[in-house]
Amino acid sequence: MNEIIVGIDFSDCSLNALEHAAVVAQKTSRNILMVFVNNPNRSTNLVSGNVDIIAEAKEKLDELAKTYQKKYSGVMISFNIREGKVFDRICAQAEESEAYMIVVGTHGASGFEEFWIGSNAQKIVSMTPCPILTIRHSRQIHNELKIIVFPVDSTLETRQKAPFTGEIAIAFDATIHILKLYSTSVDAVRATVDAYARQVKEYFDSMEIKNILIEKEADNITNTTLEYAREAGANLISIMTEQEKTAMNWFLGTYANQMINHSEMPVLSIRPKEYIRTLSR
């Protein structure tokens, strides 16, 4: 479980994702596996004209591996070329490799296939067996992950992201902002949010992870989370792919999709798993 899978289509977007992945890999002592997926059923728009896609991809991947291994000492970088649907093959690779994480850009236009990553990121998020870091195409590497926003709502699953988020925080010596989100005036629900946030804080305290506790009223948990993250100067938002379902959230789309589409900050998405009960009721 040492590999970080990075979806590559050679666009600026995917190269930005590779840069982020390399930073995480170096901090967490992981290796990187770049994955390029050739879909023979989709048309391509090669800048260099009518050439062998696989041969050109292999050459570019080999060049990237050499470049980034020099730039990030101690990080081993390899690559794999697969064929089929992009989201399906990346998720399959992650499962086969028992990957630590997947990193992809959320928009991209490359010489290989227009919007290769952008059109597949949300499908990867919904299918991936491991945590996935999505990065908007406009996000550049300016600093390390020093402030992580950790939204907490009334769902049982909201706490499952604590162990992995804690690992990242330790690796970067980051401070986690535990954001209590109240989306209702019902006392029992608000009490549940309070209880879950308290348990999360106790967990981070036990791991000696720096953290602070914040509370916000939230008509829409995506908007409220993003507004706070911007105010706090956050470098990362950690979410579950399933959160509270309010009428507003149903109308605008799933929580994870909203966050990925609108966050200019990297978003760490983690799927709920039945067997994760690190923080019990």
Residues 224 and 163 in one domain: yes
What letter represents residue 248's amino acid? M
Residues 167 and 93 in one domain: no
> Does residue 201 belong to any structural domain of this protein?
yes
Q: Which of 220, 208, 207, 209 is CA-nearest to residue 174?
A: 209
Residues 9 and 131 in one domain: yes
Q: What is the pLDDT of residues 223-242, one digit of tens each?
A: 999 999 999 999 999 999 86
- Residue 109 DSSP label: B
Could you tell me if 266 and 133 are in contact, meaning their C-beta atoms sit under 8 angstroms apart?
yes
Indicate the residue among 103, 135, 167 that finishes a domain.
135
> Does residue 275 belong to any structural domain of this protein?
no
Average pLDDT over residues 92-107: 91
Residues 115 and 162 in one domain: no
Tell me the CATH number at 196.
3.40.50.620
Residues 245 and 186 in one domain: yes
pLDDT of amino acid 113:
41
Higher per-residue pLDDT: 39 or 192: 192
How far apart CA 152 and CA 31 sit, in angstroms, is: 31
The segment with the largest mean pLDDT, out of 7-11, 93-97, 174-178, 258-262, is 174-178
Q: Who contacts 29 (Cβ-Cβ below 8 Å, separation ≥6)?
A: 2, 74
Indicate the residue among 135, 160, 189 that finishes a domain.
135
Residues 7 and 56 in one domain: yes
What domain count does the chain have?
2
What letter represents residue 261's amino acid? N
pLDDT of amino acid 138:
57
Residues 8 and 131 in one domain: yes
Q: Which of 104, 34, 31 is CA-nearest to residue 72?
A: 31
Could you tell me if 254 and 226 are in contact, meaning their C-beta atoms sit under 8 angstroms apart?
no
Would you say residue 45 has pLDDT above 80?
Answer: no
Query: Which two three-digit tokens encode residue 7?
Result: 């979806």
Q: What is the pTM of this model?
A: 0.86
**How far is residue 66 from each of residues 52, 63, 79, measured CA to CA in Å?**
22, 5, 11
Residue reference for tokens 């995480």: 24
Residues 87 and 151 in one domain: no
> Residue 155 sits in which domain range?
147-270
Share above pLDDT 90 across residues of the chain, in percent, rounded to a whole number: 61
Share above pLDDT 70 across residues of the chain, in percent, rounded to a whole number: 81
Confidence of residue 42 (pLDDT cuts 50, 70, 90): low
How far apart CA 204 and CA 201 sit, in angstroms, is: 5
- CA 181-184-189 angle, 5° bins: 80
Would you say residue 276 has pLDDT above 60?
Answer: no
> Does residue 279 belong to any structural domain of this protein?
no
pLDDT of amino acid 137:
65
Largest Cα–Cα separation, the chain: 64
Would you say residue 163 has pLDDT above 70?
Answer: yes
Residue reference for tokens 């009721």: 281
Would you say residue 111 has pLDDT above 50?
Answer: no
Residues 43 and 95 in one domain: yes
Indicate the residue among 115, 135, 155 that finishes a domain.
135
What DSSP string runs through 75-101? --EEEEEEES-HHHHHHHHHHHHT-SE
How far apart CA 98 and CA 101 sit, in angstroms, is: 9
Residues 8 and 123 in one domain: yes
Residues 183 and 240 in one domain: yes
pLDDT of amino acid 11:
84
Question: Is residue 250 within a helix (H) or strand (E), and if so which, with residue range?
Answer: helix 247-252
Average pLDDT taken over every residue of the chain: 84
> Does residue 128 belong to any structural domain of this protein?
yes
Residues 71 and 23 in one domain: yes
Q: What is the pLDDT of residues 114-156, one digit of tens each?
A: 334 445 777 788 788 799 999 876 555 555 799 999 999 999 8
Could you tell me if 120 and 87 are in contact, meaning their C-beta atoms sit under 8 angstroms apart?
yes
